């Protein structure tokens, strides 16, 4: 007896058959070829991983009825227990393929029940399998030929079965690696890397394995960029549309191309593959770094939906709540995240910053002094500078402020994150000259505090990764006085931000524009003037 919510019909029995034995069939506007793992529609063809195609076939065989997650586990994972992420990824990939091929139907989520296909005239479709029975009226000669062919087919079938098992094993390695990477547990990046390496070595023709390997090679910043690039290029040689590899190449080229091109690359990736978590992650960071906080929030929420327990995505969610003035929500996410991921640098940093710049410097100091909760790679320059800055934020005493300024002036050139922390603290303390001195060193490579990125004693530290020094911190509440300063537009112009805003025609959100307002107004007036001249025939 089965546990499905409807009788296990002949067509559902078919879903339990290997994909190689399934006949091609029409589904909506598309032709599904299970044995080739391809779907061909009016907008093109797409290929899916075995598990993804199994999910699509199972939903097709259900003919519009709802399949629960348990049903999908029985039909497509042989009843094995896998995480919800595996099913979510498979469903997301089915939706991507359906959209990219113009298949003309949708995968509907029935809340708290399961999934079903909609938009199909089931009465007009036949979803079946290839017949393997010879005709009862065949001749003796034909029977002999069929008999000989059967021996060959048996050997071929055994080989195909072994190939299928190997393919499924590689798929499981990739799924485990993706889940491990997304969880963000200690050592998970190294573990995910090993899984992707095994997958790539066992099936060198698997583009997805190389694509994911390129992503995890980027974790440690620039030190692994050559390996990341190599893995990405191998993936793209196999499949030019492999989304993870494209994301890696886009990130590596970020400062080689103009920012409009970089953003267009990422937007193209998420359009082709809405389930590409790295592309959403990189887009989230970029949009925040150019002051498009609302768009960055939307992008991060898409990343959260794909990898709900990722400390990076959740820490940014907490920061977004803070940026938009939802302090209670920011506290809730930050507290829960730190409970789930104690000592995680992203979780710890978000909790400390939200405390520090919402009038609770004492709570931030207590967190800093709670050694068991601190990230293992938080070193003396970070600890000492944060302590000096938090004491100054708490007391606002002239002596404490002077100590904080002197302490951060010593450590700011050591790493991007320490320089960014200095700018935030100085801005919150009203020390704008000191803040702009650090900003010139970090962002324009000039002045007395130019960043010494190769300082040996700070490598491998929480704030040593270049990502901490991107300009996302310029558009948060802590740096509001920095943005209000008359020097801010010139700084943005030297960094290339103004050229990006003008070309894109999208300026920072009004609530973080600060002294950029005059530039924004001038750009709007210039656009209006060009429109008027065009209308008048000039």
Q: How many residues does the chain have?
A: 538
What percent of the chain stands above pLDDT 70?
82
- How high is the pLDDT of residue 317? 97
Report which secondary-structure segment, H or E, holds 446.
none
| Distances, alpha carbon 216 to alpha carbons 31, 212, 213, in Å | 35, 7, 5
pLDDT band at 532 (very low <50, low <70, confident <90, very high): low
Mean pLDDT of 280-303: 96
Q: Decide: 343 and 186 in contact? Cβ < 8 Å.
A: yes
- Is 67 a residue whose pLDDT tops 60? yes
Q: 524 falls in which pLDDT band (50, 70, 90)?
A: low
Q: Is the pLDDT of residue 14 over 50?
A: no
> pLDDT of 453-466, one tens digit each?
444 346 667 888 87
Query: 108 vs 66, 70, 474, CA distance in Å?
Result: 9, 17, 41
For the range 8-13, what are the long-range contacts, defined as Cβ-Cβ under 8 Å and sequence gap of 24 or more?
Answer: 11/61, 11/63, 11/127, 11/128, 12/58, 12/61, 12/62, 12/75
132-144 pLDDT per residue, tens:
333 334 444 444 4
CA distance 39 to 451: 52
Torsion of CA 491, 496, 501, 507, to 10 degrees: -30
Contact between 73 and 82 (Cβ < 8 Å): yes
> Is pLDDT above 70 for 214?
yes
Element (H, E) at 116: strand 114-118
If you compute the radius of gyration of the chain from its CA atoms, what whole number of angstroms results?
28
Token pair of 439, please? 């900003």
> How far, in Å, CA of 475 to CA of 59, rounded?
45
> In the chain, how long is the greatest CA-to-CA distance?
105
What is the rounded distance in angstroms from the CA atom of residue 492 to the CA atom of residue 290?
Answer: 9
What CATH number should be reported for the domain whose range is 10-124? 1.10.10.10
State pLDDT tens for residues 144-202: 444 555 555 555 555 555 555 677 888 889 988 988 888 877 778 888 999 999 999 99
Q: Are 511 and 477 in contact (CB under 8 A)?
A: no
pLDDT(531) > 70:
no
Least Cα distance to 497 among 477, 464, 470 occurs for: 470
Asked if the model's pLDDT at residue 12 lies above 50, the reply is no
Which of 259, 170, 180 minimizes the C-alpha distance to 207? 170
Look at residue 139 in the predicted model and tell me its pLDDT.
Answer: 44
| Residue written as token pair 């060198």 | 204
Region of poorest pLDDT, from 13-17, 77-81, 513-517: 13-17
Strand order of the β-sheet with 30-33 is 25-27, 30-33, 38-41, 44-47
Kindly report, residue by residue over 374-418, the tens digit of the pLDDT: 998 899 999 999 999 999 999 999 999 999 999 999 999 888 899
Q: Which CATH class is domain 162-252?
A: mainly alpha
pLDDT band with cut points at 50, 70 and 90 for residue 328: very high
CA torsion sign for 270, 273, 274, 277 is negative
Looking at residue 353, its pLDDT comes to 98
For the CA atoms of 458, 463, 464, 466, the dihedral, rounded to the nearest 10 degrees, stands at: -160
C-alpha 464/C-alpha 455 separation (Å) is 10
Burial of 480 (0-12, 13-18, 19+ CB in 10 A): middle
Integer Cα distance of 59 and 28 in angstroms: 13
More confident residue, 408 or 448: 408
Is residue 364 exposed (0-12), middle (13-18) or buried (19+ Cβ within 10 Å)?
A: buried
Q: Give bridge partners of residue 44 from the DSSP assignment.
A: 41
pLDDT band of residue 368 (cuts 50, 70, 90) is very high
Write down the domain spans for the chain: 10-124, 162-252
CA distance 536 to 196: 61
Q: To which H or E segment does residue 45 belong?
A: strand 44-47
Q: Could you tell me whether strands 30-33 and 38-41 are parallel, antiparallel, or unpaired per DSSP bridges?
A: antiparallel
Q: Give, to the nearest 10 degrees, the angle between helix 416-429 and helix 398-411.
A: 160
Q: Which residues contact 119 (CB under 8 A, 6 or more apart)?
A: 28, 104, 105, 106
Average pLDDT, whole number, for the chain?
Answer: 84
**pLDDT class for 121, splitting at 50, 70, 90?**
confident
Residue 497 neighbours by CB under 8 Å, 6+ apart: 290, 291, 471
Residue 130 has what pLDDT? 37
How many helical (H) and strand (E) elements, i.e. helices and strands, does the chain have? 24, 6
Residue 153 has what pLDDT? 52
Give the mean pLDDT of 9-20.
Answer: 53
Is the pLDDT confidence value at 356 over 70?
yes
Nearest to 54 by CA among 15, 10, 95, 3: 15
């Amino acid at each position: 007896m089965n546990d499905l919510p409807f009788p296990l019909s002949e067509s559902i029995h078919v879903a339990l058959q290997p994909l190689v034995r399934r006949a091609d069939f029409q589904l909506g506007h598309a032709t599904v070829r299970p044995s080739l793992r391809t779907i061909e529609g009016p907008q093109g063809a797409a290929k899916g991983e075995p598990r993804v195609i199994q999910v699509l076939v199972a939903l097709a065989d259900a003919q519009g009825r709802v399949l629960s997650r348990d049903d999908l586990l029985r039909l497509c994972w042989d009843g094995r227990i896998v995480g919800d992420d595996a099913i979510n990824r498979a469903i997301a990939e089915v939706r991507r393929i359906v959209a990219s091929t113009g298949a003309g139907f949708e995968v509907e989520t029935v809340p708290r029940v399961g999934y079903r296909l909609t938009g199909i005239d089931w009465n007009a479709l036949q979803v079946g399998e290839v017949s393997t029975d010879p005709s009862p009226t065949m001749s003796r000669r034909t029977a002999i030929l069929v008999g000989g062919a059967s021996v060959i087919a048996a050997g071929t079938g055994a080989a195909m079965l072994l190939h299928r098992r190997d393919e499924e094993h590689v798929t499981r390695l990739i799924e485990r690696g993706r889940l491990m990477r997304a969880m963000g547990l200690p050592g998970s990046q190294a573990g995910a890397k090993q899984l992707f390496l095994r997958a790539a070595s066992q099936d060198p023709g698997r583009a997805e394995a190389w694509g994911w390997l390129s992503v995890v090679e980027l974790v440690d910043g620039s030190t692994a960029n050559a390996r990341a690039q190599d893995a990405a290029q191998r993936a793209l040689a196999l499949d030019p549309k492999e989304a993870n590899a494209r994301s890696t190449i886009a990130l590596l080229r970020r400062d080689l191309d103009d920012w409009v091109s970089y953003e267009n690359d990422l937007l193209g990736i998420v359009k082709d593959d809405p389930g590409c978590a790295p592309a959403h992650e990189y887009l989230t960071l970029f949009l925040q770094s150019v002051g498009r906080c609302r768009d960055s929030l939307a992008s991060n929420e898409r990343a959260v939906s794909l990898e709900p327990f990722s400390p990076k995505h959740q820490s940014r969610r907490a920061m977004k709540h803070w940026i938009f003035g939802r302090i209670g929500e920011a506290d809730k996410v930050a507290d829960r995240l730190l409970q789930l991921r104690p000592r995680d640098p992203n979780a710890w940093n978000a909790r400390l910053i939200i405390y520090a710049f919402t009038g609770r410097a004492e709570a931030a100091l207590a967190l800093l002094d709670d050694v068991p909760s601190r990230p293992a790679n938080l070193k003396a320059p970070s600890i000492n500078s944060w302590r000096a800055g938090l004491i100054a934020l708490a007391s606002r005493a002239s002596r404490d402020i002077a100590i904080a300024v002197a302490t951060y002036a010593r450590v700011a050139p050591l790493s991007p994150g320490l320089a960014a922390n200095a700018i935030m603290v100085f801005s919150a303390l009203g020390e704008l000259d000191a803040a702009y001195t650090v900003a010139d060193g970090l962002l324009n490579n000039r002045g007395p505090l130019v960043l010494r990125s190769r300082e040996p004693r700070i490598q491998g530290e929480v704030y040593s990764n270049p990502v901490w020094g991107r300009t996302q911190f310029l558009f948060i509440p802590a740096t509001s006085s920095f943005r209000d300063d008359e020097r801010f537009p010139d700084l943005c112009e030297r960094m290339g931000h103004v050229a990006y805003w003008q070309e894109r025609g999208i300026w920072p959100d009004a609530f973080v524009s600060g002294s950029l307002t005059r530039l924004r107004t001038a750009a709007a007036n210039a656009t209006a003037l060009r429109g008027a001249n065009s209308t008048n025939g000039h």
